[in-house]
Amino acid sequence: FVSACHSGLAGETFASAGVPHVVCCQQESELKDAAALAFTRQFYLALAVGRTVQAAFDQGCKAVRATPNLKDPEKEMEKFVLLPKDGNHDVPVFNARSVPEWPSRRLKETKSRSQRRLLRGTRSMYFGIARNSELSVRNMMQEDPSPTPPQFFLGREIDMYNVLRLILDRRLVSLLSEPGVGCSSLACALCHYINERRNTIVLIDKIIFVRAKQKRSGGRPGSLLDPFYDKLVEEGLARPLEDGDDIENMIFRCLKNVKAFVVFDGTNHLGGNEEVQDFSLFLSDLFRETQNVRVLLTGHKSLGIASGEHQYPLGPLNFGNTVRLFANLCPHLHTPREREDLFSSIVIDWEKAPLSSTDRGLDLRTRHLFGLLGDGVPSRIETAAYLISREDLRNLESTGDI
């Protein structure tokens, strides 16, 4: 596995030397860090549980395509290459049977109580962070509940707890924010969090994550219903549509007795008032025709569904988490110590760390730094982190300004 930009020639060299399976990047392409991380996680995990090289490669590409906040994920996915192109990759690397569950049931029964406490403590360190979720398969509902959250998903623990509490208490919740704040990332993290707690969150048995597409022609809200039904078919809950089938009735029938958590991500892509109204009517019918379906909507504004909708506004990150995210994303900082030093040089007053950019308690220095680092909006923080020069970063660390 040559995990590097412009690694096509190196991969060809390994393949020419007789290496039967080589994964590399197109020679003319550069890999985004988020794409490389998503592919590597899923690729190695699939190999470790007994998948073939081809299946592991396909799953890695699928993980890249599903990565949120990644510009043009289809293009990023196509940068990965499996060589030799005419080779037989339908073989596992490890000579072992496929592992449906890890640890095995027998191993779980023999573990001591202290070992189980250690495992629980280790998982709790990653509350709200999905970067370890691919390995926590012991208590999972399903293999791939949603796209993977961003690598450095932080500062949303309280929001995620509040949204989860609402989901378990109500059947319809709208998660609303300005563009770039991270509704989609929070929804993805919440899906992974729920997915890892099959035995404790008993009101949910199945997670269905639906991302809005561009509107199709026709008389129904196709930007959400069509991918929704495709997901139901993928999960084995429904059969493919045939001529004469009514998609809404088919959805109601297959979810009638299923304890499902459905995320409709990006309701702002619904095209116009008519489609919004049609989708609102569909949701009303869905709740009437099913017993245990819970729905989370993400978007920039409410759909105005009066019956039973609870809105949760998601605001920007606070000052402390803004600096942490900036330090984690900045390509000029390579070690935890360097990131900690930057944080300490910027956040000199701990009382300012939990404040947001709109709080009145901000002094002029903190408000100015907030603006430089993106005002707590993750997409702006990412832009600021990648555009800052080494010289400006040194000035920021030494003087608190650029």
Which DSSP helix (H) or strand (E) runs through 311? Answer: strand 309-313
pLDDT at 143 over 90: no
Q: What is the dihedral of CA 216, 217, 218, 223, to 10 degrees?
A: 20
For residue 346, what pLDDT band results from cuts at 50, 70 and 90? very high
> Can you read off the two tokens belonging to residue 17?
């030397």
Full DSSP string of 63-77: HHHT-TT-SSHHHHH
Q: What was the pLDDT predicted at 67?
A: 80
Q: What was the pLDDT predicted at 6?
A: 80
Q: What was the pLDDT predicted at 323?
A: 95
Q: Say if CB 174 and CB 299 are below 8 A apart.
A: yes
Least confident of 91-100, 175-184, 213-222, 329-338: 213-222
Residue-averaged pLDDT of the chain: 83
Whole-angstrom Cα distance, residue 395 to residue 255?
57
At 7 the three-state DSSP class reads coil
Q: What was the pLDDT predicted at 213?
A: 65
Q: What was the pLDDT predicted at 133?
A: 36
Least confident of 47-56, 61-70, 165-174: 61-70
At 297 the three-state DSSP class reads strand
Q: Say if CB 46 and CB 13 are below 8 A apart.
A: no
Please state the φ and ψ torsions of residue 142, each to the nearest 5 degrees: -150, 170
If one compares 232 and 199, the residue with the highest pLDDT of the two is: 232
Q: Residue 141: how many CB atoms within 10 A of its CB?
A: 18
If one compares 371 and 98, the residue with the highest pLDDT of the two is: 371
pLDDT at 236 over 80: yes
Instruction: Fill in the amino acid letter for 258.
Output: V
Q: What was the pLDDT predicted at 60?
A: 92
Q: What was the pLDDT predicted at 131?
A: 40
Whole-angstrom Cα distance, residue 74 to residue 324?
29
Q: What was the pLDDT predicted at 222?
A: 53
Q: What was the pLDDT predicted at 209?
A: 94
Least confident of 99-113, 229-243, 250-264, 301-315: 99-113
If one compares 272 and 11, the residue with the highest pLDDT of the two is: 11
Q: What was the pLDDT predicted at 117?
A: 45
At 98 the three-state DSSP class reads coil
Least confident of 13-22, 100-109, 152-161, 167-176: 100-109
Whole-angstrom Cα distance, residue 232 to residue 245?
15
pLDDT at 218 over 70: no
Whole-angstrom Cα distance, residue 402 to residue 395?
6
Q: What was the pLDDT predicted at 130?
A: 38
For residue 98, what pLDDT band results from cuts at 50, 70 and 90? low
Whole-angstrom Cα distance, residue 186 to residue 102?
27
What value does the mean pLDDT take over residues 300-322? Answer: 87
Q: What is the DSSP letter of 206?
A: E
Whole-angstrom Cα distance, residue 90 to residue 98?
14
For residue 37, what pLDDT band results from cuts at 50, 70 and 90? confident
Rg, Å, the chain Cα set: 23
Least confident of 63-67, 166-170, 212-216, 247-251: 212-216
Q: What is the DSSP letter of 103?
A: S
Residues across the chain? 402
pLDDT at 282 over 50: yes
Q: Residue 94: how many CB atoms within 10 A of its CB?
A: 12
At residue 146's C-alpha, the angle toward residues 246 and 7, to 5°, is 120
pLDDT at 122 over 80: no
At residue 33's C-alpha, the angle toward residues 30 and 35, to 5°, is 85
For residue 306, what pLDDT band results from cuts at 50, 70 and 90? low
pTM listed for this prediction? 0.67
Which residue, chain included where needed, has tokens 């929804």?
A: 187
If one compares 93 and 391, the residue with the highest pLDDT of the two is: 391
